[in-house]
Structure 1
Amino acid sequence: MKRILSLVMVVLLTFGVVSLGGCGSSKTTSDGSDTKELNFFQWTEYTPQSVLDSFKKKYGITVKMSNFSSNEEMIAKLQAGGLSQYDVVVPSNYAVKGMIAQNLIQPINKDNIPNFQNIDDSFLNRDYDPGNKYTVPYLSSPVVLAVNTKKVTKTITSYNDLLDPSFKNQIVVVDDERPIIGAALLATGHSLNDTNENDLQEAERWLKKLRPNIKVFDSDSPKTSLISGECSIGLIYNGEAALAIKSNPDIKIVWPKEGISGLTIDNLCIVKGTKHEKEAEMFINYILDPKVSKLISAEYPYTNPNKAAHSLLAKSYLDNPASNIPFDKIKSSELLNDVGASLSQFDRIWTEFKG
């Protein structure tokens, strides 16, 4: 997970050698007509294909979706020519400021997105994009603590409880440095976004104590280890936890007293220089339609910021504490933010921690 630009790429971006050309495309069919395409760069397992198909049916625009597994991967691809390949991307909040500074995304005309009004205020006007000039909240995927209560008899109330030697080789964590180092920072009494060298060293020592208890690093499907019984505790994305709970009701969500270790808001953004701005706005507005938003959460049960969709969501979603995190908890929780030049220190800690 790197966000470090090579010197060559910085020079290319600075002098405009990397094209900022249109990100969509048109193809000519056999009968000579044009078929519009919109290129969507999205997290793995985060938008159902059925939603893309229904958008095409309504507007005649084919959405081609490519996937990434980390913000760092997504940014690197945009920097390496992706500005000419994609129209809409979905960065997490802590990546947004850097993407704005690097001219990777452009302001959004919300007059063309009337469904923006469906987003709950808890997700809006956060410090990564005051006024939501560049971003439209899509879903929130905080890292939550999931525990198989049938296998774990000890009461867990704190991240520090995870250091118990009896949990050796029982924990699955997302392969994502910021929320896991964030848990260490919270456990040692610091902010998720603390960059003080001494505080990071303290968090690193905490992680070394945790390491023997971690059996699996998995960002793609961490629920699998919990459902199979391979692991009994997980620090995993809430949508994955929700699916695990659905498969095994013995799995419960624990809210550590220190707070959420990896709260993020993932956002729909328009790539800088797209030639399909109108189509991109249509697509974002479509995603925010309550009925469409319901379909997204039905398949991928992450926290949905669309308050208008909540009256349509199934009882199984609303009753699942991993999916339906109260909006007031979102509003009061600290978000993972960009740590700037200190990211290299986080990278080092993570690399050495994983071994």
Structure 2
Amino acid sequence: MKLRRAVWLMLCLIGLVLASGTVFAQSAKKLFLFNWSQYMDPAIIKAFEKKYDVEVVRSFYDSNPQLFAKLRSGGASQYDVIFPSNYYVPRLIKTNLIQPLNHDEIPNLDNLKSRFRDPPYDPQDRYSVPYQWGTTGIAYNADDLANVPKSWSILFDRGVNPDNPFALIPDGQVTVAAACAYLGIGWRCKGEKSWKKAAQLLIKTKTRSNFNGFVSGTPILQQLARGNADAGMTFNGDYMFYKKRNPEAFSDIEYFIPKEGGELWVDAMAIPVNAPHPKLAHKFINFILKAKVGAQLSNWNAYATPNEISQPMLKKSLQKPPITPTQNQMKRLRFTPSLKGENLHMFQQLWTDIKSR
């Protein structure tokens, strides 16, 4: 009997040890972020880790298509918070890759500017929360390409730029929209007829000897700084971020919104459908929406904030071009449209054809 009791007590102790180990493993949480590079002040991450006693693990992508592909291949159960652009949010909703938000857990939603609430790409903010906003335009070497027009012609007109190396963004919708804008169709071009005209221009552009390929917005800035390219599509905040940190390398590099029009975009925060820590993800989103954190974020990465309460704490340089567009510039900016169904399928086939030529 004593032996049985001793064995029983030992088994109970082992069970308690195992149980306590399980509790400890569950409490030692991590938050997994999948974000654009150079898009989050490390000090904000440290502050969140300290406040909630967690570890934040970050991974990075450089285009919306890359984010989408990763989520479809299992990433929807690997990450807690992602940062898609506005026109990709409906696609993520349609493919069941993100989950509805619990607004009761995000009280700081009230800090957002009214024009960023209830957006057309996500009515009632059901699945996403605005993170930062900006523009897509052209960065170029003003010394090597002196006196060129502030136009998409730097990329699409051999007569304007016969020799200087340039690149286009690998995001199909953005690049096709730029071609449409140059052709006079407008940034929000839709339909087979408009897309085919843009495709003909892009295929022709690819054959030019000074075409450097499809390069994302951040890497093209690095190529410009090294002198490996003289023009390319990029984002206003990335341009300011690198210019401030390396003014000598960027002394001749300028950014502009083409006269034919450019992209206005909003990057959002969303929670993948099978996120490992959804409650912690809600806490993180709410944390980013705090007034001081929103200002700190924009002051670090040089993008505009959708946070109304953060405005008085922003650097003066963020409250004017190229970060905050003028009223005239805003008239030339458009959101990239969301595609679905047959239109999306048709566009994907067209973009595949463009890249393969």
Tell me, yes or no, if structure 1 residue 242 matches structure 2 residue 243.
no
- How far has the Cα of 1:29 moved from its partner? 9.2
- How far has the Cα of 1:129 moved from its partner? 0.7
When structure 1 is superposed on structure 2, of 213-222 and 85-94 the one drifting more is 213-222
Aligned to 1:264: 265
The SS at the match of 2:219 is coil
Tell me, yes or no, if structure 1 residue 214 matches structure 2 residue 215.
no
Counterparts of 1:124 and 1:100, CA distance in 2: 18
Counterparts of 1:31 and 1:344, CA distance in 2: 47
Aligned to 1:55: 48
Tell me, yes or no, if structure 1 residue 86 matches structure 2 residue 44.
no
The SS at the match of 2:28 is strand
- The verdict on how the C-alpha distance between 1:107 and 1:169 changes in structure 2, with shifts beyond 3 A counting, is same
Tell me, yes or no, if structure 1 residue 255 matches structure 2 residue 257.
yes
Counterparts of 2:23 and 2:328, CA distance in 1: 54
- The verdict on how the C-alpha distance between 1:145 and 1:70 changes in structure 2, with shifts beyond 3 A counting, is closer
The SS at the match of 1:263 is strand
When structure 1 is superposed on structure 2, of 284-293 and 214-223 the one drifting more is 214-223
Give a deviation string over 1:189-232, Cα, whole Å, max 9, x none. Answer: 22434332222121122224433253353214221122233333
- The verdict on how the C-alpha distance between 1:225 and 1:274 changes in structure 2, with shifts beyond 3 A counting, is closer
- How far has the Cα of 1:351 moved from its partner? 4.5
Check the 8 A contact 1:238/1:303 in 2, yes or no: no
Tell me, yes or no, if structure 1 residue 36 matches structure 2 residue 29.
yes
Check the 8 A contact 2:138/2:233 in 1, yes or no: yes
- The verdict on how the C-alpha distance between 1:99 and 1:69 changes in structure 2, with shifts beyond 3 A counting, is same
Tell me, yes or no, if structure 1 residue 98 matches structure 2 residue 91.
yes
Give a deviation string over 1:22-77, Cα, whole Å, max 9, x none. Answer: xxxxx959978821222222223322333222101112122222222333332333
- How far has the Cα of 1:185 moved from its partner? 0.9
Tell me, yes or no, if structure 1 residue 165 matches structure 2 residue 159.
yes
Give a deviation string over 1:152-187, Cα, whole Å, max 9, x none. Answer: 222414323541435233323323222111111112
Tell me, yes or no, if structure 1 residue 134 matches structure 2 residue 136.
no
When structure 1 is superposed on structure 2, of 178-187 and 326-335 the one drifting more is 326-335
How many residues are paired up? 327
The SS at the match of 1:41 is strand
Aligned to 1:299: 300
Question: Could you tell me the percent identity over the aligned residues?
Answer: 32
Counterparts of 2:300 and 2:254, CA distance in 1: 20
Q: What pairs up with 1:59-78 in 2 under 5 angstroms?
A: 59-78=52-71
What stretches of structure 2 of length at least 5 have no aligned partner? 1-19
More helix by share: 2
Counterparts of 1:53 and 1:303, CA distance in 2: 22
Check the 8 A contact 1:28/1:35 in 2, yes or no: no
Larger Rg: 2
Counterpart residue type for residue 256 of structure 1: P
Counterpart residue type for residue 67 of structure 1: F
TM-score (norm 1): 0.80
Counterpart residue type for residue 75 of structure 1: F
Of 223, 226, 233, the match for 1:225? 223
Aligned to 1:8: none
When structure 1 is superposed on structure 2, of 274-283 and 327-336 the one drifting more is 327-336
Give a deviation string over 1:286-344, Cα, whole Å, max 9, x none. Answer: 1112322233223322332223223222234445x233335896698421122223345
Counterparts of 1:313 and 1:94, CA distance in 2: 27
Q: What pairs up with 1:143-182 in 2 under 5 angstroms?
A: 143-160=136-153, 162=155, 163-167=157-161, 168-182=163-177
- The verdict on how the C-alpha distance between 1:193 and 1:153 changes in structure 2, with shifts beyond 3 A counting, is same
What stretches of structure 1 of length at least 5 have no aligned partner? 1-26
Aligned to 2:334: 334
Check the 8 A contact 1:95/1:338 in 2, yes or no: yes
- The verdict on how the C-alpha distance between 1:66 and 1:28 changes in structure 2, with shifts beyond 3 A counting, is farther
The SS at the match of 2:55 is strand
Counterparts of 2:254 and 2:71, CA distance in 1: 38
Counterparts of 1:310 and 1:214, CA distance in 2: 40
- How far has the Cα of 1:97 moved from its partner? 1.2
Counterpart residue type for residue 217 of structure 1: F
Counterparts of 1:324 and 1:307, CA distance in 2: 14
Counterparts of 2:100 and 2:331, CA distance in 1: 24
The SS at the match of 2:312 is coil
- The verdict on how the C-alpha distance between 1:52 and 1:169 changes in structure 2, with shifts beyond 3 A counting, is same
Counterpart residue type for residue 237 of structure 1: F
- The verdict on how the C-alpha distance between 1:278 and 1:330 changes in structure 2, with shifts beyond 3 A counting, is farther
